[in-house]
Structure 1
Amino acid sequence: MDTEKLRLPRSRQANERLHAMIPGGAHTYAKGDDQYPEHLAPVISHGRGAHVWDIDGNRYIEYGSGLRSVSLGHAHPRVIEAVRRELDRGSNFVRPSIVEVEAAERFLDTVPTAEMVKFAKNGSDATTAAVRLARAATGRPRVAVCADHPFFSVDDWFIGTTPMSAGVPAATTDLTVAFPYGDLAATEQLLKRHQDEIACLILEPATHTGPSPSPQLGSGRGDPTPGYLAGLRELADRHGCVLIFDEMITGFRWSEAGAQGLYGVVPDLSTFGKALGNGFAVSALAGRRDLMERGGLRHSGDRVFLLSTTHGAETHSLAAAMAVQTTYVTEGVTARLHALGERLAAGVRDAAAGMGVGDHLVVRGRASNLVFATLDENRQPSQRYRTLFLRQLLAGGVLAPSFVVSSALSDADIDHTVEAVARACAVYRKALDAADPTPWLAGRPVKPVFRRSA
């Protein structure tokens, strides 16, 4: 499909309707039409496996499905069957359902480094509960977040540190400090500077979203330097603060037990979501019994309002989570994600190199969590070149804000994607030669999610 022939009239109309009723035109900023080339933001009709169809009738191979949450592909049979079994049995009661017992047992069997778990609906609730619990346990006010990881929560303690800080009191933001990923010395300096004030260190145990490898990350494949997480564990213990792993992305994609299961470093608390429900709304806060029980009834101290959500134990979402865990373990999904990602990364890199843009279209990250950076003629990150690249991919039937794979992808899907990338790279080369991608944009460039003005 030629970009000149790609027209999305129904999607354009639907986007206008969305903006008229929903601030930002989407319920997640990362799904906004400002993240896509102008007038080329498809509105989805339905999905099956690794494919989605927009309301204009176009079919796409989809990456990063559901902001990384749909790792098994859309409408996965085992997950849908488990959900359907619960739908006729009721979804929410005045007392706990037996499904809550079964889901907790299944989760703790899958993530044996945790001793207790509490479910919720989204990641922000879980991470904020972890922070509140750490503050209660330590009696300290400050939160130390990893500065190199892009998102932890929609709540004030984190959002106040981003460019979209409007509405967050400075007094709240001042209680959040930052440490660099991989730098134990800098982290210890921070802990000493705020001696006995920092309640917790919160970070993604392993991730990589930048355009090039950092000194702290192996070869840009998303693994921390050997000894880093263990060193962070020791620092937290020595300075009396709680170590929290945000496993929203790494959970299941790194191993069934998350990055903590892969690297063998046990946090005090950890949070899971995204892949846990394969698109159904479920998240989890897990961790040490002595900490988690502070939000329970079997301790003698002050109670912590840990998590108390109307829909946190919705039966069909917990059934989905159990089916996801079973599928990962029995079908070796994590290994498949890595194999697919390796094939895709190799193909994209070869295609980019073959078109002479190998230094400008850069693929990084763990094979199961690939991202790409688009660099300009000076090898600087460029939203304009990203726009050009996304336009060409869309015209090739590929919807890819990232290259994060799902296990539903086939080898044919990967081959088609690589072919679309090669065609996009040919146009990319022309723009680089002209030192100006403007003629290939056909509208405003895509924009960063976190920015101060609309």
Structure 2
Amino acid sequence: MIDSWPTSARLWDRAKSSLPGGVSTGMRASMRPHPLFFRGGRGPVLTDVDGNDYLDYVLGWGPVVLGHGHPGLTEAVTRRLPDGATFGAGHELEYLAAEAVLDALPGMERVLWSNTGSEADQIALRLARAATGRNRFVKMTGHYHGWSDAFLLGYRPDADGRLDRAGTRGQNPAALSDVSLAPWGDLDAVGTILRDPAQDVAALFVEPVLCNSGVIAPPDGYLAGLRSLCDETGTLLVFDEVITGFRVARGGAAELYGVQPDLIVLAKALAGGYPVAAVAGRAAVLDQSLHGVVHAGTYNGNPIVLAAVKATVEALSEPGIYPAFETNGRRLADGMRAALERYDVTAAVNQVGPVVQVLPGLDRCDTFTQFLAGDQQWYDVLTVEMLRRGLFTLPGGRWYLSTAHSQADVDTTVDAFADSVSATVGTNGLPRGTLQDVG
């Protein structure tokens, strides 16, 4: 049992003198009990600066799909390093990595390299506008397409419970005039917007699995319905597969659900933890970059990250990878459900492949509205109890599995999860099953 993290606390205090909040991205500041510092990892295990080992379900907030220090990935990147970091010119890995990506995504004809999911979503929107001659776009409430001014709307309610306002201070409110919000799962609402000529919609952006807000699978026929509506109205359908791409299936959610979009945005699982993103799509759309659409980026397609892309995609092409992901994901989710039931805790557990979501306080979670009603205060306390027992997990309840996690790791995790639930609901004299802040 881990009681405290003194070295991490000391380093965090030092970091706060040079980094805002002592973190490199604001979301890490929400880690409980405070941000931890790590010195390295192997496979599914991370070791912090205090010498504690954890089974890692954060996985760099998703990208470390092969586990830490994967030999093939490490060797591919190491082999490239002596030849330089970037050239500002062409090299063979640009097309070799692109060919590997396209081989996994039937119907996609081109790949455009970028650096982050936020950047890739922005260029996808620009290409869609150029290809259609229209300006506006549609996104779903609860869906996340990066932190740019254009897209950060409808992801989380503001202090007044409103979803139709800027998602951050400092955001240009004028940028929000180009987007229409639709509720996830409601085809009629989307159809009303797309069929309105005054809406002038170039593209519909959607997470095909709502991973950012509950790991909610699409309702039956929903994605196919979106495809039909886009075909009817000449709107481009964009799957934001930053999370699902190369994770829920080799061909991502497009393969899993059998619906082909016009563009697919990829990032997290694409390079095993190295910083890269991409837009894959039809040639007629991506080739707009040859006809007046500006797409720039000094680091786009650099050989280091594309060596990582090629190695990661090849590793994920090995037989048995995705059946094992499904088996382990289901094993983890079922074990969590059993533990929660054992201690009379009301919580939903959603799972799609190797992505799992725990949703305390809910009997089920099929909608974004239900997701917002979850008891996050209770889960924050649970997160610390799991950390004490050697599980490194994300705030908010989402879990990622890597290819390095074994069934034995999952079983160990389920036992530690059950112990953590028991400790959490049994403190401060509260009756078991009471979901409130027990910290």
Identical columns (%)? 33
Does 2:362 align with 1:370? no
Q: Is the 8 A contact 1:352 1:421 kept in 2?
A: no
Does 2:307 align with 1:319? yes
- Cα distance, 1:208–1:159 mapped onto 2, change above 3 Å: closer
State the partner residue of 1:399.
392
- Cα distance, 1:138–1:416 mapped onto 2, change above 3 Å: same
State the partner residue of 2:14.
17
- In structure 2, C-alpha distance between the alignment counterparts of 1:352 and 1:159, rounded to whole Å: 34
State the partner residue of 1:289.
283
Could you say what secondary structure the match of 1:365 adopts? strand
Deviations 1:92-124 (A, max 9, x none): 114201111211111111222210001111111
Shift of 1:210: 5.4
Shift of 1:78: 0.8
Shift of 1:193: 4.2
TM norm structure 2: 0.89
Q: Is the 8 A contact 1:133 1:291 kept in 2?
A: yes
Shift of 1:196: 4.8
Comparing 48-57 with 412-421, greater Cα deviation is found at 412-421
Q: Is the 8 A contact 1:340 1:407 kept in 2?
A: no
Could you say what secondary structure the match of 2:231 adopts? helix
Q: Is the 8 A contact 2:154 2:181 kept in 1?
A: no
Could you say what secondary structure the match of 2:83 adopts? coil
Q: Give the gaps of 5 or more residues in structure 1.
A: 212-220, 297-301, 442-454
Could you say what secondary structure the match of 1:157 adopts? coil
Structure 2 residue corresponding to 1:103, chosen from 97, 106, 128: 97
Does 2:22 align with 1:29? no
Q: Is the 8 A contact 1:160 1:166 kept in 2?
A: no
State the partner residue of 1:78.
72
Does 2:86 align with 1:92? yes
Question: Over aligned residue pairs, what C-alpha RMSD do you find?
Answer: 2.2
State the partner residue of 1:216.
none
Aligned AA for 1:21? Answer: S
State the partner residue of 1:304.
293
Q: Is the 8 A contact 2:237 2:263 kept in 1?
A: yes
State the partner residue of 1:346.
334
Shift of 1:331: 4.0
- In structure 2, C-alpha distance between the alignment counterparts of 1:82 and 1:193, rounded to whole Å: 50
Aligned AA for 1:433? Answer: P
The number of residues matched between the two structures is 415
- In structure 2, C-alpha distance between the alignment counterparts of 1:165 and 1:200, rounded to whole Å: 23
Could you say what secondary structure the match of 2:399 adopts? coil
Q: Is the 8 A contact 1:120 1:284 kept in 2?
A: yes
- Cα distance, 1:65–1:191 mapped onto 2, change above 3 Å: same
TM norm structure 1: 0.86
Q: Is the 8 A contact 1:374 1:381 kept in 2?
A: yes
State the partner residue of 2:164.
none
Does 2:423 align with 1:427? yes
Aligned AA for 2:240? Answer: D
Structure 1 residue corresponding to 2:136, chosen from 133, 142, 164: 142
Stretches (4+) displaced over 3 A: 160-164, 192-196, 208-211, 434-438
Structure 2 residue corresponding to 1:237, chosen from 207, 231, 250: 231
- In structure 1, C-alpha distance between the alignment counterparts of 2:212 and 2:152, rounded to whole Å: 19
State the partner residue of 1:330.
318
- Cα distance, 1:417–1:204 mapped onto 2, change above 3 Å: same
Q: Is the 8 A contact 1:140 1:196 kept in 2?
A: no
Q: Is the 8 A contact 1:208 1:364 kept in 2?
A: no
Could you say what secondary structure the match of 2:245 adopts? coil
Structure 1 residue corresponding to 2:409, chosen from 393, 413, 424: 413
